Amino acid sequence: MGDFNALLNTISDLVIGAAGQPWVYAVVVIGCIIDGFFPPFPSESIVVGLAALVLTPGGPNLWLLMIAAALGAFLGDNLAYVIGRRVGITRYRWMRRPVMQRAFGRVARGLDQRAVPLLLVARFIPIGRVAVNLTAGATRYSWKSFMPISALSATMWASYSLGIGAVAGVWFKENQLLGVVVSVVIAALLGLVVDRVCKLIQSRKQVNPESATATAEGSLGATDVDPVLVGAPLR
């Protein structure tokens, strides 16, 4: 696992090191697509790191980077939706683990109650967005509704990532490497804060007896899976 993480970090460093090359934008699109269904891929690090260099000589173009990041995020999220629609969320062993099935069950209920904020917030949580988008597809949440929401969330995520990188780049313009490092750290910390807030909100809802009862009745275990989550043909 350590070797794999080292490989991903090396890829990120290579892309950032080639910030002025025209092919970097294609790599950003591909990286964000992969990250849509494979969270370990460091798309945030790549986007934020490149954004920290936009004001340096030979650095990437801000608007092209913005378009590439938003497009890749949008395509990645929709690919995860299609995977959930085609494959479902019970086919693979890791999907059938009790903790994953409970998570999928909570997401399914969330999509029924508050789909828009759930889809928007999930984009900022690497593992969370994959679970939400897979479940949206598996539960046959309307693709016509999913696409514009995912387009908005992808644009928001790209703006957020570029904003962090650009600000850090200005603060540390005399030390480009430090600017890249700081911007990536800030992005990671904000991601952790969003994740923590979501968990805190969820825990407070479970304290409420009515909410806890609904959760207990609706939780999906490894052997208690709603048939709608198995997957259905894409329409």
Which residue in 7, 17, 10 sits closest to 180, CA to CA? Answer: 17
What's the CA dihedral at 129, 132, 138, 140 to 10 degrees? -110
pLDDT at 184: 45
Give me the tens of pLDDT residue by residue for the chain, a chain 235 residues long.
566 667 666 766 777 777 778 899 999 999 999 998 888 887 888 888 888 888 777 888 999 999 999 999 999 999 999 999 998 878 778 778 887 788 788 888 888 878 888 888 888 877 788 889 999 998 888 899 899 989 988 998 898 888 887 776 666 444 444 544 544 455 455 555 655 665 576 567 666 545 444 443 443 343 344 444 444 444 4
> Both tokens of residue 167?
């600000």
Task: Answer whether 140's CB lies under 8 Å from 232's CB.
Answer: yes
> Both tokens of residue 90?
């019970």
Task: Answer whether 191's CB lies under 8 Å from 126's CB.
Answer: yes
The alpha carbon of residue 176 and the mean position of all alpha carbons in its chain are separated, in whole angstroms, by 27
pLDDT at 80: 94
Q: pTM surpassing 0.85? A: no
